[in-house]
Structure 1
Amino acid sequence: MGLDEAAAAVRDGDAAVYPTETVYGLGADATDADAVAGVFDLKGRPRDKPLSLGVPSVDAALEYTRPTEREAAFMRRFLPGPVTVVVERRETLPDNLTAGRERVGVRIPDHETALALLERTPPLTATSANRSGAPSVTRVSDLDSRVREGAGAVVDGGETPGTESTVVDPGKGVIHRRGAMADDIEAWLQAEQ
């Protein structure tokens, strides 16, 4: 399925499966509480585990977040890339996206297809396209049938590398999950204290 069809599915309130530079993602309109709830249901994910926000650029992220100067500098250094950056959210994002928390993970994939989709849609949920607890999906053929059938669109971009993004809160200097580029991120956090 093409990007225009995937964007149309998102605008209709459905989720789309799309490739990134890490694994396949599951994206629905992150500003729509009902669409976000649908992603939790598709994944079978506990509602107390927040989802991240996928956007096409740091400037787009600033419309939905309030990073500090240090956090914004970190975002401009490492995004787009295989990094999820945790910053303060704006009230325009629904509570269920962040499980009621004041901070949200921001993801800007360094992947041509993912960025092209994000340019055509509102901000998307940025979460892996697997069922909760199952391995991440690196090929469309590995999608759980419930996710495949529940998504409004599936964009096949071939096999993805499979490395998880590094999740980091640069304001607190904490790496929550080590993944791609973790050593570079750790060096930046230490140098910029």
Structure 2
Amino acid sequence: MRTTRVLRVNPHEPEREAIAEAAEVIRAGGLVAFPTETVYGLGADALNERAVRRIFEVKGRPPDNPIIVHVADKDSIYLLAAEVPPAAEELISRFWPG
């Protein structure tokens, strides 16, 4: 049985312990829900196939509707993408981060 744990985090002074706990859940292949500016996001390790499948399952998302993967820096894109077209390179150089 899966359990849900709710951690309340002060957005202005996030508690390190709560962030560390959420990071451990992600490292273990679990999912973490978190608020964004407009909606709640669902986070997981994008390199963990089981975790990604779980996101699709939980959201009821069809497999042909891709999910967003956030990366820490530009170099990470080349580790994840099969191809980065020249138009994307231009946008990356002009607008990263942002």
- Who is 1:29 aligned against? 45
CA shift, 1:26, in A, is 0.8
Q: Is contact 1:58–1:76 with CA below 8 Å preserved after alignment?
A: no
- Name the CA distance, whole Å, in 2 between partners of 1:50 and 1:33: 13
Once the two structures are superposed, the pairs formed by residues 121-140 of structure 1 within 5 Å of their partners are: none
- Name the CA distance, whole Å, in 1 between partners of 2:32 and 2:55: 10
- Who is 1:68 aligned against? 85
- Who is 1:58 aligned against? 74
- Matched length: 81
RCO higher in 1 or 2 (8 Å CA, sep ≥ 6)? 1
Give the 3 Å change call, closer, same or farther, for CA 61–18 of structure 1 in structure 2. Answer: farther
* Contiguous gaps of at least 5 residues in structure 1: 82-193
CA shift, 1:21, in A, is 4.5
Tell me which protein shows more strand as a share of its residues. 1
- Name the CA distance, whole Å, in 1 between partners of 2:38 and 2:72: 16
Give CA-to-partner distance per residue, 1:112-151, whole Å, 9 cap, x none.
xxxxxxxxxxxxxxxxxxxxxxxxxxxxxxxxxxxxxxxx
Give CA-to-partner distance per residue, 1:20-71, whole Å, 9 cap, x none.
4553311111112111111011112122211121111222222212313331
- Name the CA distance, whole Å, in 2 between partners of 1:19 and 1:79: 22
- Name the CA distance, whole Å, in 1 between partners of 2:66 and 2:45: 15
Q: TM-score, normalised by structure 1?
A: 0.38
Tell me which protein shows more helix as a share of its residues. 2
Q: TM-score, normalised by structure 2?
A: 0.68
Helix, strand or coil at the partner of 1:26: strand
CA shift, 1:74, in A, is 0.3
Amino acid at match of 1:8: E
- Who is 1:79 aligned against? 96
Helix, strand or coil at the partner of 2:80: coil
Give the ranges of 4+ consecutive aligned residues of structure 1 lying more than 3 Å apart after TM superposition.
Answer: 19-23
* Contiguous gaps of at least 5 residues in structure 2: 1-6, 8-17
Identity of aligned residues (%): 40
CA shift, 1:76, in A, is 2.9
Amino acid at match of 1:24: Y
